[in-house]
């Protein structure tokens, strides 16, 4: 591993990764990343170690070939007919270090690959409090990103996992990163390996994808019928291992309705001896989330097609009252007043909100989709985020920007897509890249009171067409001074909600 560390340093591995990943922490599109690599031996090393692709041994001649030989002898690389490949792992630069991880699904690995590093792992690492001088338990450690890198300076870190391969990868990463704080690796489920110990900080990323028949239970899809199969026992047992004032931090994805997370009673019972705060960071409509999960599981070995999985998830989750899922950062503290408090950042944006750039935007080179404001740090966006950002010039509301970014989707999908655009716009607003157009600059935007929003919601269900189309078949909309009125259900629409009006209409 020391030879590997030296080779990564010698080829400036983080810089190669930044170029191949488009400036993002993780590679989203392997084919796109491959297309951005060059022909030098350094790039051959990156294709082998960063993208998990076979390379010819001759491509490494003269640039660390002895390292390749040593990795083959150690069983970490395989040579077949002059071609080198890893044994199902890659190296990802993260948190100032480098991590051996299982080959992720985006790279052709299985959905339940051991110890692969995903975006949620990095989000959790970025959220953790300082660990200096504290005893840390990294529960379900995987590749060890939390216990080895995010919790540098701990008085001791104990990393546990049910998967021996993950623990082996964590051990490799401890050597690769020259881990300076004391650590132990223990095999077992939940708190069983540390039942007689106490910690100041417990960190975990429990599996949260609900299970339906035919989805194929993996370390990813193992959240039980409601997605709480691991979160509830994680909260249940936390008090038994936390010091007074100690904290549990984890990320979860919770089923929710329009008011917030569902299944509050289960969480309340699990938190009878803890002060629990759920900070809900975003919300995704249920249908596109189901489609995404079903597609991913179908591509990686589930027993059903994507369409059948989507139908099974819909039949399982909708009776629970779910209309979406929300991501939540969970913090539980021992020694406080028991109970669950749900908070979340609210932007107040609606589809008619008009936004504009908050300052001069600087976009990186074509291969780097990073956007900054002058004097601010970079924000890494995918192509869709960039397109949406581009559409806001002060004259576009979110609905109009959505049309520019997504095109014209089928009517049945428009509401979900528009809601997703509101969420993306909220993220851009929080990142500082966008700002609201003041009401004084935009007389078309009017505030919406609760009664009006309720009426608009009723109107969506009174005919085939919704308020988004004034030419609707199902409802004969009558123009009035401040908008439109539906004679069938009485719903009113102010001009701020309408997108398809020409100058004569307005």
Q: Which residues fall within 8 angstroms of residue 232, CB to CB, at 6 or more apart? A: 266, 267, 270
Q: Distance (Å, rounded) from C-alpha 389 to C-alpha 380?
A: 12
Task: State residue 357's pLDDT score.
Answer: 77
- Give the rounded percent of residues in the chain with a pLDDT score beyond 90: 26
Helix, strand and coil content of the chain, in percent to the nearest 5, comes to 35, 25, 40
Say yes or no to pLDDT of 336 above 90. no
Looking at every residue in the chain, the average pLDDT score rounds to 77
pLDDT in tens, 184-202: 999 999 999 999 999 999 9
Is 355-441 in CATH node 1.10.10? yes
Q: Distance (Å, rounded) from C-alpha 400 to C-alpha 407?
A: 10
Most confident of 219-228, 273-282, 327-336: 327-336
Q: Distance (Å, rounded) from C-alpha 199 to C-alpha 131?
A: 11
Say yes or no to pLDDT of 380 above 70. no
Nearest one of 281, 262, 280 to 322, comparing CA atoms: 262
Q: State the DSSP code for 397.
A: B
**Token output for 148:** 């080895």
Say yes or no to pLDDT of 353 above 60. yes
pTM over 0.85: no
Q: Place 473 in a pLDDT band, splitting at 50, 70 and 90.
A: very low
Q: Are 134 and 154 in contact (CB under 8 A)?
A: yes
User: CA-CA distances (angstroms) from residue 3 to 13, 64, 167?
Assistant: 14, 9, 21
Say yes or no to pLDDT of 170 above 90. yes
Q: CATH topology of 108-344 equal to that of 355-441?
A: no
Say yes or no to pLDDT of 165 above 50. yes
Task: State residue 470's pLDDT score.
Answer: 39
pLDDT in tens, 315-324: 999 898 888 8
Q: Place 119 in a pLDDT band, splitting at 50, 70 and 90.
A: confident
Q: Distance (Å, rounded) from C-alpha 93 to C-alpha 91?
A: 7
Say yes or no to pLDDT of 366 above 60. no
Mean pLDDT of 417-422: 75
Mean pLDDT of 443-467: 39
Task: State residue 399's pLDDT score.
Answer: 81
Task: State residue 101's pLDDT score.
Answer: 92
Say yes or no to pLDDT of 332 above 50. yes
pLDDT in tens, 387-399: 788 888 777 788 8
Task: State residue 329's pLDDT score.
Answer: 86
Q: Distance (Å, rounded) from C-alpha 321 to C-alpha 340?
A: 20
Say yes or no to pLDDT of 126 above 50. yes
CATH class of 108-344: alpha beta
Ordered by start, the domain boundaries in the chain are 2-87, 108-344, 355-441, 450-497
Mean pLDDT of 12-25: 86
């Amino acid at each position: 591993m020391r030879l590997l560390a030296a080779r990564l340093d010698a080829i400036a591995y983080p810089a190669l990764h930044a170029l191949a990943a488009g400036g993002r922490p993780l590679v989203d599109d392997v084919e796109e990343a491959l297309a951005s690599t060059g022909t030098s031996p350094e790039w051959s090393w990156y294709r082998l170690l960063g993208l998990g692709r076979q390379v010819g041994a001759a491509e490494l001649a003269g640039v660390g070939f002895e390292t390749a030989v040593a990795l083959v002898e150690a069983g970490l690389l395989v040579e077949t007919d002059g071609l080198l490949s890893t044994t199902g792992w890659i190296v990802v630069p993260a948190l100032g270090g480098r991590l051996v991880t299982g080959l992720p699904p985006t790279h052709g690995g299985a959905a339940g690959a051991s110890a692969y590093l995903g975006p949620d792992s990095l989000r959790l690492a970025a959220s953790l409090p300082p660990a200096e001088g504290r005893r840390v338990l990294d529960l379900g450690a995987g590749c060890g990103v939390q216990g080895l890198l995010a919790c540098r300076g701990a008085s001791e870190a104990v990393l546990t996992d049910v998967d021996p391969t993950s623990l082996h990868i964590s051990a490799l990463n401890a050597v690769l990163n020259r881990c300076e704080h004391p650590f132990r690796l223990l095999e077992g489920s939940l708190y069983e390996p540390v039942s007689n110990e106490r910690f100041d900080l417990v960190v975990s990323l429990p599996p949260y994808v609900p299970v339906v028949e035919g989805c194929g239970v993996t370390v990813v899809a193992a959240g039980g019928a409601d997605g709480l199969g691991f979160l509830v026992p994680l909260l249940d047992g936390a008090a038994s291992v936390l010091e007074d004032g100690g904290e549990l931090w984890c990320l979860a994805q919770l089923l929710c309705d329009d008011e917030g997370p569902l299944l509050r009673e289960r969480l309340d019972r699990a938190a009878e001896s803890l002060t629990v705060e759920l900070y809900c960071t975003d919300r995704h409509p249920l249908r596109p989330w189901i489609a995404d999960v079903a597609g991913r599981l179908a591509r990686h070995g589930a027993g059903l097609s994507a369409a059948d999985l989507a139908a099974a998830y819909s039949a399982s989750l909708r009776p629970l009252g779910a209309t979406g899922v929300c991501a939540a950062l969970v913090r539980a503290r021992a020694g406080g007043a028991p109970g669950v408090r749900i908070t979340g950042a609210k932007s107040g944006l609606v589809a008619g909100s008009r936004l504009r750039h908050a300052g001069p935007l600087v976009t990186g080179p074509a291969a780097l989709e990073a956007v900054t404001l002058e004097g601010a740090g970079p924000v890494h966006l995918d192509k869709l985020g960039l397109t949406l950002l581009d559409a806001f010039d002060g004259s576009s509301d979110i609905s109009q920007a959505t049309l520019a970014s997504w095109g014209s989707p089928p009517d049945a999908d428009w509401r979900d897509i528009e809601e997703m655009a509101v969420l993306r716009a909220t993220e851009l607003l929080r990142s500082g890249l966008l700002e609201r157009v003041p009401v004084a600059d935009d007389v078309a935007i009017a505030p919406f009171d609760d009664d009006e929003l309720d009426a608009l919601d009723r109107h969506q269900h009174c005919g085939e067409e919704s308020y988004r189309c004034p030419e609707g078949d199902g409802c004969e909309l009558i123009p009035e001074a401040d908008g439109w009125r539906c004679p069938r259900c009485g719903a009113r629409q102010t001009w701020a909600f309408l997108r398809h009006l020409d100058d004569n209409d307005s």
